[in-house]
Amino acid sequence: MVRVEIYSKKDCCLCNKVKELINKVGLEVPFSFKEVDITDNEELLRKYKEDIPLVFINGKKAFKFKVDEVEFRKKLRIELIKSSLSRMWSKKSVEQKRVF
């Protein structure tokens, strides 16, 4: 499963727009979603207070400040394909080990 994470804070209009877009895409494309309020963690607040909203896909920074819907969908598809290939590869590896 692809993981999408947004670093945001309360009362941030840019963050709210990005969350709306992520939720919209989430109705059509499967992924897990986690929102991290940077104000709950001093280290995150210090590190990211000027960079929100910040969106990560599978732990990699994908967007800062705004999210382009087409690009977001494209990045999700790429990660879905990677995870599918990884699962297929690991299944194949296990099957090959059984043969020997």
Confirm whether pTM is higher than 0.75: yes
Contacts of the segment 14-18: beta carbons below 8 A, 24+ positions apart:
14/52, 14/53, 14/65, 14/66, 15/52, 15/53, 17/66, 18/53, 18/55, 18/63, 18/66, 18/67
Tell whether the model's pLDDT for residue 74 goes beyond 70.
Answer: yes
Which pLDDT does position 100 carry in this prediction? 53
Query: Domain with 87 in it: what CATH number?
Result: 3.40.30.10
Percent of the chain residues past pLDDT 70, beyond the cut? 87
Number of domains composing the chain = 1
pLDDT digits (tens, 9 = 90+) for 78-87: 999 988 887 6
Domain span holding position 25: 3-99
Which pLDDT does position 92 carry in this prediction? 56
Tell whether the model's pLDDT for residue 96 goes beyond 60.
Answer: no
